[in-house]
Amino acid sequence: MRFTDVKKPAYILAASVAVLAASNAHVSWPTRSQAAQGDLWTTQAPSSTVSNTNPNVDINVAKLNQAFTDLAKRMSPTVVNIYTKTAVNRQRAPQFRGMPQDDFEFFFRRPFEDRSPREAQALGSGFVINTEGYIVTNAHVVRMAGKNADEIMVKFIGEDSSKGHAAKVVGVDEQTDVALLKLVEHKEGLKAAPLGDSDKANVGEWVVAIGNPYGHTHTLTQGIVSAVGRSLEGLRADFIQTSASINPGNSGGPLINMAGEVVGINTAIDPRAQGIGFAVPINSAKNVISQLVTTGRVARGFLGIGIQDLNDEIAGYMKLPNQEGVLVREVMPNQPAALAGMETYDVIRKINGQEVRSTKDLYKSIEKLPIGQTAEVEVFRNNDLKRLKVQIGESPARS
């Protein structure tokens, strides 16, 4: 997974000061006679802001600790550690051009080398969503080398020394990295993790992650929601970024708010840094989970168009009154949009009355619509608004 390098303006600032000093340039700073301290910074925090130096703020450390320990006791029984085994084919050696593969194998590898499939093992985390034994995790935890795991065992808290419980794959959605498992045999006394509303997750609020990092079972880490709406290459979700520590083995475990609700599925980290983890928002996973339970697969709506966001340059060139909507740059023949009369250079403004502000908005809106449903699409064309009736198709499977 690639991550964009982040430039650090602080380094540039420090370098600038060093150059000034080296060149004996005169730098004037405000003196007390030039500016009072009160003109340089604010010492009065807004009334709604908690400040460590504000004597009127009473932080009860005992109650804060109790909140975290209660959360651990309540949620840990809903979390499972997942262990998988998968038989994967050994890679064939690269072939020299012009040489038959069998001859290459004979001369450049041991002729009698074992070519049987090898067993790959993996570990991860997951959480129970109902008493029927359904468990949510990441697709990459239970799927390897293009196939589902041959053996899946899950362990609940306190079962470290046991073999665990067998589970089977109900379905996987690699586009969101979400998978659904189910216990093979019924287990009494299952506790389910309540699913929250990830759209209400606010930057700065406390969250905890529970999982199986490096095999350290049922580890709880604490952090905050660092950002929302993050994008990761190759995955379809607006990820929650968190500072709660996530490591290999945490994948598939829950990201939990202080109300004891799952708001995300811990999925990935930025390997260049510490404290930068990403979780699939639970609202994005809910539709996936529902479809996996019902059909074992995920079907997404499809219009059959290529689109791009508008900007000043495009809007000016096309003489558009504003940048509202997204531009249709391609209409695929014999696909839903084409059959409804959509044309290249149309600007999509609304879907079923909901404003479309970006390509991300449009994709999210269309993918959630039932296959076969007719949607009203408002487009701007030749200084006129047109409303098209489009029957939603099914998105081709992505390889």
The residues carrying an active-site annotation are 140, 177, 251
Give the closest residue to 250 by CA, choosing from 194, 210, 195. Answer: 210
Distance CA 392, CA 276 (A): 37
Sign of CA dihedral 213, 216, 220, 221: negative
Inter-residue contact 50 to 90 (CB < 8 Å): no
Burial class (CB in 10 A: 0-12, 13-18, 19+), 320: middle
The CA dihedral of 292, 298, 301, 307, to the nearest 10 degrees, is 130
Helix (H) or strand (E) holding 150: none
DSSP state of 195: B
Q: Which residues are within 8 A (CB) of 222 and not within 5 positions of it... i.e. 6 or more apart? A: 68, 206, 207, 208, 244
Phi, psi (deg, nearest 5) at residue 134: -80, 135
Structure tokens belonging to residue 81:
């550690």
Residue 62, CB-side half-sphere exposure with 13 Å CA sphere: 0
Q: How far apart are the C-alpha atoms of 115 and 120, rounded to whole Å?
A: 15
End-to-end CA distance of the chain: 17
Lookup result for tokens 């609304």: 350
DSSP string, 246-284: --TT-TTPEEEETTS-EEEEEEEE-TTSSS-EEEEEHHH
User: Which two three-digit tokens encode residue 87?
Assistant: 């038989």
Distances (CA, A) of 204 to 208, 254, 282, 291: 13, 18, 18, 32
Specify whether the CB–CB gap between 244 and 263 falls below 8 A.
no
Whether the Cβ atoms of residue 62 and residue 68 lie closer than 8 Å to each other = no
